Structure 1
Amino acid sequence: MKLKLLAQNTLKSIGILYLKTVKSIAFIPAIVAMVFLLLSLFTVQFDYSDTGKAIKAGAHWLTLKDASTARSIISTITGGIISLTVFSFSMVMILLNQAASQMSNRILEKLIGNRFQQIVLGFYIGTIVFALFLLSTIRDIDSGVYVPAISTYLLIAFTVVDIFLFIYFLHYVTQSVKYETIIHKIFTDTQKSMERKCVLQNFSPSSCEQGSSLSLNAQNSGIYQGFMEKPMRSLCKREDLLIRMEWPVGKLVIKDTPLLTILNKETIPKDLQKEIMGMVNIHGGQDIDVNYYYGFRQLMEVAVKALSPGINDPGTAILSLQALGHLLKYRSENHPEEEIYDEEKRLRIIMKIRSVEEIFTECVYPIWDYGKQDRLVNMEFHHIMLQLCAQTNIPAFERMLDTVNRSPMHQGV
């Protein structure tokens, strides 16, 4: 049992480390740089091979007989690409700082994790690695065949590509930090996450009766990130357990707070308790892919920040509000699974799910609190609520519409 717990905790730690590594800004650049290093080894080996020497002997324009000239070319390219890299990402950090100060620092992960930016950085670093390795292989021999001319010309081609990448990179970065682009990115990620998780058209809350039960407390503080579904379901089937999670994904759980309840047992062995808690993920940070509610929160924070007196940008708040309207419409018609059954169709796990009204209350009312004195925000609230009420039967939407209609700012329209 101890070995099983150790293996389980190790796998969970490896999974968390893997996600952090893959989402790191240095992950793709490191891979690209390694590819360039392997490419430099291959091209230099080819340069010094009989085939490479024959190619250089037959094509005089590929021959660099002067080792100092080759060194000068490579050194110049190396210094230029280093300067290009520093300039490019100094500009990125300035734009990120501006976006974080005017929107929300929670969106930084979206901007830093941009794959195109990481690929460009990797290509820059890869070119530098290629050039440095190439510089170390040049030999002073009169025949010229030991100057890696083919590799040097390939490096020049990489440099030309770097220059064009830099030109496009300037355009891409200025577009990617625009408020509408960031809001659309959050909206798209949240929509995709809901499409994966909200698969039920009809929903009825779980009504399992509770008899004898046992509560298990959180072993550490952090954000509840869900649990390992397949291992937990197998364990519940093996031990004949019915588990109810007490918190929705994304909630802060403080140590020793009741985290889950075993509904059909009053006592279980300590080792089994540890095994169950080892399958629950509690750690810092949140991800829209795991918890679509985090996307709602980000849009709310962007809108609230835009409506703050220091920013005073109702246009950005309206963009966030429109995105929230689309997402609330989809969520009101599609519901996540609340119950998990085993292969024999026996109920094993009951999850805590945020209702549409809870999401609306937590993510839309704060925007109203900040923006109800703004005429533009008032009009947009009325426009969105009117459509939501016409297409859904959510009481919270109707209450919000009634609140907007009674607003002095709206009555003056």
Structure 2
Amino acid sequence: MKARLLKRVRQVYSDVINSIAFYPAIIALCFLVLSYVLLYIDFSPLGKAIKSRLDFISLRDASTARTIAATIAAGILSLTVFSFSMVMILLNQAASNMSNRVLDSMIGNRFQQWVLGFYIGTIVYALFLLSTIRDIDTGIMVPALSVYLLILLTILDIFLFIYFLHYVTQSVKYETIIRRIYQKTKYELGRQCQEKGSVLVAPGPSGKVYTVKATESGYFQGFSKQGVVQLCKDRNWLLRFSHATGTFVLQGTSVAEIETLKGLTDEQQEQLHALIDFHDGEPIEKSSFYGFKQLTEVALKALSPGINDPGTAVLSLHALAELLSYRLSHFPVVSFQDSEGVVRVITREHSFQDIFEQTMLPIWDYGHDDRTLRVALQQVLQQLQRQSISPKDTATIRQMLQKVDTAIADNVP
């Protein structure tokens, strides 16, 4: 029960952190604290002294301060609705013309969340300030400092809105979306892969092998590395995962194998399952392979008869070629050691051949009749072949290149 609760807490934490509402909520809370601090200064002896000496920042009429706060709250609320209505329209257009999978990277854009948070924070600030204004006789009791700060925040919101319009119109361009997916995938590849050669797996514990079966159907999304390694160290296990990240696993099928000198209890399996993630979605942060898949889907959608945009398909192809070029000389870490240097966990990763076949072959199957795509594919395959250092990788690329060369030769007048 405790293990399941910890797993649930970990999943909820991940959902909250990656939610579009996380940053806006934090920023709005900061604005609420800011409003409280400014009001405290406004009504403190220091604030009253400042307002009594500087008449130009003192409001004599409480109704004026109330009108300013109410007008700003209503205006920024309308600005927020307009801004993100436009974002939803552009997101719908991108999903229709490219792929639904690209929405995660677009919705998760941090700049959009910061803008939304700043708008909401200004509204929260204005409403909280509005609730504190009272009709009084002396101007030094009107929160003039807070009101003038609200005006400054509103001016900043307007300039932020202007830049936001420019940013959104640029960010929904196909080349921008493709470049963003490429950059996230390249980052994850660099984090998951080593630079020189494949990793040699040192021998770990030996003994009887037990199969760990999936308790639910779903997509294998990785595991808590620190938690699993520590568990294997405590139990003296060698754990071998059966699937690469992103694989759909049916309930009751093998998800991992454990080598141990002792038996494997149900409680121990439950502890292990609590550290393994199964859920839907294709977040690139979980596996760089999802980035390859998204770029492939963008290319296939662009080549569909309804879209018929080979230029976008070529852009996706070039991004895939850059990633495959990086993968040719960088190899994923497949073993994890404990603090004593003993290998405790061995993972299964997508090989270059797997990635190549699941990205390039679908694009070729769908767009082999397009001359633009054939020429672009021929160019990138020739360059990849020159960069390949593994005989298996070279053979895979050469086999594909022969198909492309034959198709181009057959269509020559």
Normalising by structure 2, we get a TM-score of 0.94
Deviation of 1:116 after TM superposition, in Å, equals: 1.0
Mapped partners of 2:340, 2:80: distance in 1: 58
Deviation of 1:85 after TM superposition, in Å, equals: 0.7
Does residue 104 of structure 2 align to residue 126 of structure 1?
no
Mapped partners of 2:353, 2:381: distance in 1: 13
Deviation of 1:349 after TM superposition, in Å, equals: 2.3
Opposite residue 399 of structure 1, the aligned amino acid is Q
Deviation of 1:353 after TM superposition, in Å, equals: 1.3
Deviation of 1:354 after TM superposition, in Å, equals: 1.1
- SS of the residue 1:262 aligns to: strand
Q: How does 1:136-285 map onto structure 2 within 5 Å?
A: 136-203=131-198, 212-264=208-260, 267-285=263-281
User: Paired residue for 1:400?
Assistant: 400
- SS of the residue 1:24 aligns to: coil
Shifted more, 145-154 versus 100-109: the winner is 145-154
Mapped partners of 2:139, 2:260: distance in 1: 82
User: Paired residue for 2:351?
Assistant: 355
User: Paired residue for 1:331?
Assistant: 327
Mapped partners of 1:149, 1:198: distance in 2: 57
Mapped partners of 1:150, 1:410: distance in 2: 77
Mapped partners of 1:386, 1:205: distance in 2: 30
Relative distance call for 1:412 and 1:276 in structure 2 (3 A) is same
Mapped partners of 1:156, 1:162: distance in 2: 10
Identity of aligned residues (%): 48
Deviation of 1:251 after TM superposition, in Å, equals: 0.7
Q: How does 1:359-370 map onto structure 2 within 5 Å?
A: 359-370=355-366
Mapped partners of 1:257, 1:303: distance in 2: 33
Mapped partners of 1:259, 1:48: distance in 2: 63
- SS of the residue 1:225 aligns to: strand
Opposite residue 412 of structure 1, the aligned amino acid is V
Shifted more, 246-255 versus 206-215: the winner is 206-215
Mapped partners of 1:343, 1:133: distance in 2: 52
From 104, 113, 116, give the equivalent of 2:111.
116
Q: Judge conservation of contact 2:199–2:334 (CA < 8 Å) in 1.
A: no
Q: Judge conservation of contact 1:378–1:410 (CA < 8 Å) in 2.
A: no
Relative distance call for 1:48 and 1:332 in structure 2 (3 A) is same
Q: Deviations over 1:5-46 (max 9, x none)?
A: 61x433332222222111111111111111111111111121
Relative distance call for 1:211 and 1:360 in structure 2 (3 A) is farther
Q: Deviations over 1:53-72 (max 9, x none)?
A: 11111111112112222222
- SS of the residue 1:213 aligns to: strand
Relative distance call for 1:409 and 1:132 in structure 2 (3 A) is farther
Opposite residue 66 of structure 2, the aligned amino acid is R
Shifted more, 195-204 versus 132-141: the winner is 195-204
Specify every segment of 5 or more residues in structure 1 that has no aligned partner in the other structure, as ranges: none
- SS of the residue 2:140 aligns to: coil
Q: How does 1:49-60 map onto structure 2 within 5 Å?
A: 49-60=44-55
Q: CA RMSD in A?
A: 2.1
Opposite residue 9 of structure 1, the aligned amino acid is R
Opposite residue 334 of structure 1, the aligned amino acid is H
Mapped partners of 2:374, 2:306: distance in 1: 20
Relative distance call for 1:203 and 1:215 in structure 2 (3 A) is same
User: Paired residue for 1:314?
Assistant: 310
Deviation of 1:330 after TM superposition, in Å, equals: 0.8
Specify every segment of 5 or more residues in structure 2 that has no aligned partner in the other structure, as ranges: none
Q: Judge conservation of contact 2:101–2:282 (CA < 8 Å) in 1.
A: no
Mapped partners of 1:239, 1:205: distance in 2: 23
Does residue 32 of structure 2 align to residue 37 of structure 1?
yes
- SS of the residue 1:215 aligns to: strand
User: Paired residue for 1:72?
Assistant: 67
Q: Deviations over 1:356-403 (max 9, x none)?
A: 000111111111111111110010000000101111141211111001
Deviation of 1:212 after TM superposition, in Å, equals: 4.5
- SS of the residue 1:201 aligns to: coil
Opposite residue 355 of structure 1, the aligned amino acid is S
Mapped partners of 2:201, 2:278: distance in 1: 24
Q: Judge conservation of contact 2:104–2:283 (CA < 8 Å) in 1.
A: no
Relative distance call for 1:155 and 1:235 in structure 2 (3 A) is closer
User: Paired residue for 2:336?
Assistant: 340
Q: Judge conservation of contact 1:222–1:284 (CA < 8 Å) in 2.
A: yes
- SS of the residue 1:406 aligns to: helix
- SS of the residue 2:139 aligns to: coil
Shifted more, 168-177 versus 401-410: the winner is 401-410
